Amino acid sequence: MTTIKLAVLRHTKSKDGTYKIRVSVGHKSETHYIVTKYRVNSLANFVNGVVVGQPDAKAINVKLRQLLNEYDERLERVPNSGELSCEQLRNLLRDMPSSNNTATLMGVAQRYLDHLRKEGRVSSANLMEYHLGKFLEFTHGDIFLAHITPQLVDDYLHQLRSRKLSPSYITICVNPVVIITNYAIKMQLVKYEQNPFAFYKRQSSPPRDIDISVEDMRKLYRYKPAKRKTRKVLDLFILSYMLGGMNLKDLLAYQFTDKENIAYRRIKTKNTNHGHLTEFGIVSEAYPIISRLINDDGRIVMDSKTYDSFKYCVNRSLKTIATKAGLERTDISFYSARKSFVQHGFDLGIPLEILEYAIGQSMKTNRPIYNYAKIMKRHADDAIRKIVDLIVKN
C-alpha cells in the first residue's frame, strides 16, 4: 500500500536555519521525498504533519492540504503502481501534471522537439515544428491538448483536402500532431474519454523509387571526377553502397579506427527499442575510399557548417555526377545508394532478414523464423561481398 504524507527531515537544515517541508511517498517498504516550496522555522514548528507556532501557519496548512489532495489524485491516475519501485513512483507523481488538463500542444511539443535535437535529429525536429506551426495557424494559436477533439481533427483534415493535397502529404501534415498527442497521453499530460485521432486513418507514403540499376552503379564506380569536392561526394555515395547502405548521417558520425570491421547503431533508431548493433567486415575495395575521406581522428569531415546544408550540396552534386557519368536516370540522391544496395541484394536472392540486418533496419523480432535462426555478422559479410562484386567485377 502506498502512503502519502508530509514530513520534515532533521538532517536537511538550510543555511538560513529553516527546514523545507516534503511530501513523503512510502511504497514497498521504502520512502522517497518530494520537496515543496514551504518551510518551517524550526523542527518545533512542525507537529504531526501540521505547521504550528508561525504567523503564516494557517495559510501554509491550507496550501499543504491542497497539495496532498493533488498527490492523492495523481496516485489514483497511476496504472499498475504496484509494478513501480518507490523511486519510480515518486518521480511519476512529482512530474505528473494536475488533473485540470492545462497542458498545451506546443508546451508539450517543445519538450519532445528538444529531445529530438539532443539526439541529433535536427531535420526531423524542424520538419515536425513546421507542420505543428501550420496546425496552430488553423487553430489560431496554441491550444490546450484537452481541446483537440475528433471534430477538430476532422475539420483540419477537411481543410487540407480542400487544398487538393496528396494523401501522403496530408499524412506528413497531420502526423506531428498525432505524435505529440500520443506522447502527451503516454506521459499522462492529458486524459481523453476518446482519442481525438480515433477515426483518423493514416495514408502510407508510397516507397520512394530512387534506386538505380547495377549498370548505373558500375558507371559511378568507374567514373573519376576531376574536382576534389565532386570526387568526395562520389566517394561518399560509393562508400555508403559498400557499407550496407549506411546513411550519410551515420557515415559522418562514425569513427573509422578499425580497418577491418564496422560496428554501429543507426542514429535514427539507437535510442528506440528497435535499434540494433550492426556489424560486418569492410570489403577490401572500400578501405581506399575510407582512407581518402577520413582525417587524423578517423572521421569524415563535412564541407559545410551544418549537416542539412552539407546533405543539400551532396544531393545536388550527385545529380550532376549522374548526368556526366551517363546514367540512365539522373534524379538520384544519397539515399539511392541504400535503396540500390537492398534492391540489388534482393535480386541476388539474399534473404530480406539478412538485408535488414546489413542496413541496420529495425528487425521484426516477432517473426516465427527468429525462434529458429539468428542473423549474424558472417551473414552480412557474405551478403555485402556478393552485392559489391556486382559493380567491381564486371
pLDDT in tens, 21-59: 999 999 999 999 999 999 999 999 999 999 999 998 999
Assigned C-alpha cell, 169: 502529404
Phi, psi of 30 (to 5 degrees): -125, 160
| pLDDT recorded at residue 168 | 83
235/369 same-domain check: yes
Query: 3-class SS at 30?
Result: strand
Contact 341, 241 (CB under 8 A): yes
Q: Among 95, 120, 154, which residue terminates a domain?
A: 95
Strands 19-27 and 3-7: antiparallel
pLDDT at 75 over 90: no
Q: What is the mean pLDDT of residues 99-113?
A: 81
Q: What is the mean pLDDT of residues 130-143?
A: 92
Q: Amino acid identity of 64?
A: L
87/125 same-domain check: no
Q: Is residue 142 part of a domain?
A: yes
| pLDDT recorded at residue 306 | 84
Q: Where does the pLDDT of residue 372 fall: very low under 50, low under 70, confident under 90, or very high at 90 and above?
A: very low
Q: Is residue 129 part of a domain?
A: yes
Tally the domains of the chain: 3
171/226 same-domain check: no
Write the pLDDT tens digit of every residue in 210-237: 889 999 999 999 999 999 999 999 999 9
Q: What is the mean pLDDT of residues 89-102?
A: 74
266/361 same-domain check: yes
| pLDDT recorded at residue 100 | 53
pLDDT at 373 over 70: no
Beta-carbon count within 10 A of 221 CB: 19
160/276 same-domain check: no
Mean of all residue pLDDT scores within the chain: 88
Q: Is residue 202 part of a domain?
A: no
Q: How far is CA 273 from the centre of its chain?
A: 11
Query: 3-class SS at 333?
Result: coil
Angle at 127 between CA 306 and CA 203, to 5 degrees: 140
Contact 59, 67 (CB under 8 A): no
CATH number at residue 173: 1.10.150
Q: What is the mean pLDDT of residues 260-285?
A: 80
Largest Cα span, the chain: 92
| pLDDT recorded at residue 282 | 95
Q: Is residue 195 part of a domain?
A: no
280/355 same-domain check: yes
115/77 same-domain check: no
Q: Is residue 378 part of a domain?
A: yes
Domain carrying residue 159: 105-186
The answer to whether the predicted template modeling score (pTM) of the entire model surpasses 0.85 is: no
| pLDDT recorded at residue 92 | 84
Q: What is the mean pLDDT of residues 115-143?
A: 89
Q: Is residue 192 part of a domain?
A: no
167/221 same-domain check: no
Out of 59-68, 317-326, 341-350, pick the least confident. Answer: 59-68
Q: Is residue 83 part of a domain?
A: yes
271/166 same-domain check: no
Residues in the chain: 394
Strands 30-40 and 46-47: unpaired
CATH number at residue 293: 1.10.443.10
What whole-number distance in Å separates Cα of residue 250 and Cα of residue 267?
A: 6
Q: Among 186, 206, 237, which residue terminates a domain?
A: 186
pLDDT at 290 over 70: yes
Q: Is residue 196 part of a domain?
A: no
Q: Which residue intervals of 243-295 are DSSP H helices?
A: 248-253, 287-293
346/240 same-domain check: yes
Out of 20-29, 117-126, 153-162, pick the least confident. Answer: 117-126
Q: Which 3-state string (H, E, C) describes 329-357?
A: CCCCCCHHHHHHHHHHHHHCCCCHHHHHH
Q: Among 95, 123, 149, which residue terminates a domain?
A: 95
Write the pLDDT tens digit of every residue in 298-315: 999 888 888 888 999 999
pLDDT at 186 over 60: yes
Q: Is the dihedral of CA 270, 275, 279, 280 positive or negative?
A: negative
Write the pLDDT tens digit of every residue in 158-176: 999 999 888 888 999 999 9
41/129 same-domain check: no
Contact 260, 308 (CB under 8 A): no
What whole-number distance in Å separates Cα of residue 295 and Cα of residue 183?
A: 41
| pLDDT recorded at residue 192 | 85
57/117 same-domain check: no
pLDDT at 371 over 60: no
What whole-number distance in Å separates Cα of residue 79 and Cα of residue 191?
A: 13
Query: 3-class SS at 86?
Result: helix
Query: 3-class SS at 38?
Result: strand
